[in-house]
Amino acid sequence: MRRRLLIILATLLTAILLALVGLKLIYGRGATYAGVGGTPVLTADELEMAIRPELPPGCVTVTHDGRVFFDTHPFAAPARFAAPHVFELVDGQARPWPSAEAQDLFVAPFGLTADRQGRLWLIEPATLDRSATRLLAFDLASGA
């Protein structure tokens, strides 16, 4: 019985080792990452800083008419659940969007995008307290 258990264990370890070697040969040959560089589209003089937020942004999206929206990364600060989460860049300043009062709607936005129908989409993944993932859509014209 003990011999049979050792054979099974040795076979299992051999199979795992072969699988790992196979993965290494297929995906991780130790080669350097292929260069993806090239000539920049814009020169350094053509770039400008749009904003320097206090907390790192999570996602940034630009509407078809040039409005800029962003959220704070949910892991940015321990007090992140008490502060505004979603912002619009207006005249170089981050303004809570759709309003400061509406920030209570958000818990931890983790993704946002604007579509061509004039909506801002926001997703909040499920949290450790088992709250459900939420997908929210807002009308950009009214904020509703």
What stretches of the chain adopt beta strand conformation (E)? 57-62, 68-72, 86-90, 93-96, 111-114, 119-124, 134-139
Q: Walk me through the domains of the chain, giving residue ranges and CATH numbers.
A: 44-139 (2.40.10)
Each of the 144 residues of the chain gets a pLDDT tens digit; together they read 888 999 999 999 999 999 998 888 887 766 676 777 788 888 889 988 877 877 778 889 999 999 999 988 767 665 555 567 899 999 888 899 999 888 888 877 888 999 999 999 999 887 777 678 889 999 999 988
Q: Report CA dihedral (130, 82, 110, 113) to the nearest 10 degrees.
A: 130
Residue 118 burial (C-beta neighbours within 10 Å; 0-12, 13-18, 19+): middle
